Amino acid sequence: MNVLRAHAQVSTDAVRSVGAAVTARGWGWQHATRANWVVRDLDLSIAPGERVLLLGPSGAGKSTLLHGIAGLLGGAEEGRQAGQLHVDDAPPAERRSRIGMVLQDPDSQVILSRVGDDVAFGMENFGVPREQIWPRVRQALDAVGLNVPLSQHTSKLSGGQKQRLALAGVIAMHPGLILLDEPTANLDPAGVIEVRDAIVESARKTGATLIVIEHRTDVWLPVIDRVIVLGADGAVIADGTPDDTIRREHDYLVRSGVWVPDTPLPEIPRRRFEDDRALLHAAELGLGYRGDEPLHTGLDLAIRRGRTTVITGPNGAGKSTLALTLGGLLRPPVGRLTADAALAPPRSRREPVRWRSKELLTRIGSVFQDPEHQFLTGTVRDELSLGPRALNRNATEIDACTDELLQRLRLQHVADANPYTLSGGEKRRLSVATVLATGPAVIVLDEPTFGQDRRTWEELIRLLADVADAGTAIVAVTHDLDFTALLADTRIELPAWQTATETTS
């Protein structure tokens, strides 16, 4: 409460901003590299101070629209614009001094190397006088629950902390228009509510207009005034009060992959594979990168054929490091990870980290947390055929396998596109498909459902269940509780391991 009162005091000192209005008339946008319009014939009008939740299927151009409103789409070399988009009766690029936006990827949101400077950055750009900057930095950090010293290095923050940092930076600016693209995807459930309340409180105090994109609607519905639903071609198909719109468009939203509140979890039928012998054995295993202190010591676990093993644990517990170690990519600093004799290429080399790269392809596949790290070629089709070609399979076999995967993972329409240009859901499906292409005996996935819409989420769970039931060992590292509940045959909780970042001011 003290925090809120202090905040109110300062914002009266500051120039009180008034919310910005947003209007679009027949607006559209086409990326220079794509044949189709991402957004087309869009008409909408958002009044100052309104709080809007923007919904729609993956690839409906929600992010593009938000970038457009923020004036960040760039000029003619980036793409083609149709119609008109205005913020307060001028093109957004001329109104950037009224707009603060938080983008999707928290990693690329960090701008400066100290926490305090990073929060101050936006205010400096807005020309906020120096004596107001530092109090506002502290209040914003307090409000989003990031309790670290101002001099803390931003590179030491976890994904969730980086997201809070970016939000603090925008709140502190007191913009007339706050634009948020999936602002809470990286936060734990308690953090989501805390951060949401901080944003809404800030918007209420300054009168700012708020536009949010978020798949997980249950968090935002209670605090917003209006829901706008975009169709697959980027036009508005529903617009109204939250309860009304959600009720009316319920089926479309569910089909579009929006997490509509109170939708029951799907049933995942399983026919478990009979043979469940252990393919990988960890004994007295420690985790860590070369030269660092080991994270954990003395881990013992077995990865079984045809079974799903889900590994959970708090941020910084070493989940990703464990995934890399199980994937045969990172040498454990202590202990041993050994493969079943039948799986090891020659019996003398039982440790996956000693296998050749090609030998890994049919034995252990890894799906990384950031799908972009997975991609090595220029088109989706090449990406899928890369593994089979490395194994010298014949051309007809490769084509058949690629076509089947394209169809199974709904990627035919982007077969010739560059993997980097796909939507988040498509990238995730492609990264899983690249691993399936060579049919490894073990598949290790790092946060496979992170940032996915409900449709991709459910597809992934069904796919992984099928793959496991066909005799593959699935290992997934995640903090998605629903995913764990639906899929885990075995659940391993990796306890917290002391981290250096948890210091307080």
Partner 1 sequence: MTTVEALGTRPVNPVARLLTALLIAGGLVLSVDWVSALTALVLELVLFFAVGARLRPVLTRAAVLAVAAALTAVTILLYGQSSGTVHWHFLLITVSDGSIALALATFLRVLAIALPSVILFADVDPTELADGLGQVLKLPARFVLGALAGLRLVGLLGQDWQYLGYARRARGVADHARLRRVAGQSFALLVFAVRRGSKLATAMEARGFGAHRSRTWARPSPFAGREFALVTAGFVITAVAIATSVTAGSWNFIGAQ
Q: Which of 85, 87, 133, 212 binds partner 1 (CB under 8 A)?
A: 133
In the complex, minimum distance from the CB of residue 239 to partner 1, in angstroms, rounded to a whole number = 25
Convert residues 49-88 into a mask of x (bound to partner 1 by CB under 8 A) and - (unbound): ------------------x--xxx----------------
3-state secondary structure 373-395: HHCCCCCHHHHHHHHHHHCCCCH
In the complex, minimum distance from the CB of residue 130 to partner 1, in angstroms, rounded to a whole number = 6
Amino acid at 144: V
In the complex, minimum distance from the CB of residue 220 to partner 1, in angstroms, rounded to a whole number = 20
Q: Does 438 bind partner 1 (CB under 8 A)?
A: yes
d(CA 347, CA 343): 9
Query: Which is closer to partner 1, CB of 57 or CB of 175?
Result: 175
Structure tokens at 93: 């690029």
Stretch that binds partner 1, among 195-203, 234-242, 358-366, 492-500 (CB under 8 A): 358-366
184: buried, middle or exposed (CB in 10 Å: 19+, 13-18, 0-12)?
buried
Q: Does 103 bind partner 1 (CB under 8 A)?
A: yes
Q: Which of 18, 386, 415, 492 binds partner 1 (CB under 8 A)?
A: 386
Contacts with partner 1 in 148-177 (CB under 8 A)? 149-151, 154-155, 166, 169-170, 173, 175
Q: What does the DSSP assignment read for 121-183?
A: HHHHHTT--HHHHHHHHHHHHHHTT--S-TT-BGGG--HHHHHHHHHHHHHHH--SEEEEEST
Name the residue among 504, 391, 461, 406 with its Cα closest to residue 152: 504
Q: Does 129 bind partner 1 (CB under 8 A)?
A: yes
In the complex, minimum distance from the CB of residue 257 to partner 1, in angstroms, rounded to a whole number = 25
Structure tokens at 63: 């992010």
d(CA 135, CA 129): 11
Query: Which is closer to partner 1, CB of 39 or CB of 123?
Result: 123
Q: Does 105 bind partner 1 (CB under 8 A)?
A: yes
349: left (phi over 0), alpha (psi -120 to 50) or beta: beta
Which phi and psi (to 5°) does residue 236 adopt? -75, 125
Stretch that binds partner 1, among 102-110, 198-206, 227-235, 399-407 (CB under 8 A): 102-110
Contacts with partner 1 in 275-334 (CB under 8 A)? 289, 324, 327-330
Stretch that binds partner 1, among 265-273, 359-367, 468-476, 478-486 (CB under 8 A): 359-367
Q: Does 128 bind partner 1 (CB under 8 A)?
A: yes
Q: What does the DSSP assignment read for 217-273?
A: HHHHGGG-SEEEEE-TTS-EEEEE-HHHHHHHTHHHHHHHT-B-TTPPPPP------
Q: How many residues bind partner 1 (CB under 8 A)?
A: 74
Q: Are 164 and 140 in contact (CB under 8 A)?
A: no
Contacts with partner 1 in 387-406 (CB under 8 A)? 387, 390-391
Q: Does 184 bind partner 1 (CB under 8 A)?
A: no
In the complex, minimum distance from the CB of residue 195 to partner 1, in angstroms, rounded to a whole number = 17
Q: Does 90 bind partner 1 (CB under 8 A)?
A: no
Contacts with partner 1 in 202-261 (CB under 8 A)? none
Stretch that binds partner 1, among 147-155, 241-249, 308-316, 395-403 (CB under 8 A): 147-155
Name the residue among 182, 178, 160, 158 with its Cα closest to residue 169: 178
d(CA 46, CA 22): 5
Q: Does 36 bind partner 1 (CB under 8 A)?
A: no
In the complex, minimum distance from the CB of residue 260 to partner 1, in angstroms, rounded to a whole number = 29
The CA-CA-CA angle for residues 419, 445, 291, to 5°, reads: 100
Q: What does the DSSP assignment read for 418-443?
A: -GGGS-HHHHHHHHHHHHHTT--SEE
Query: Which is closer to partner 1, CB of 237 or CB of 329?
Result: 329
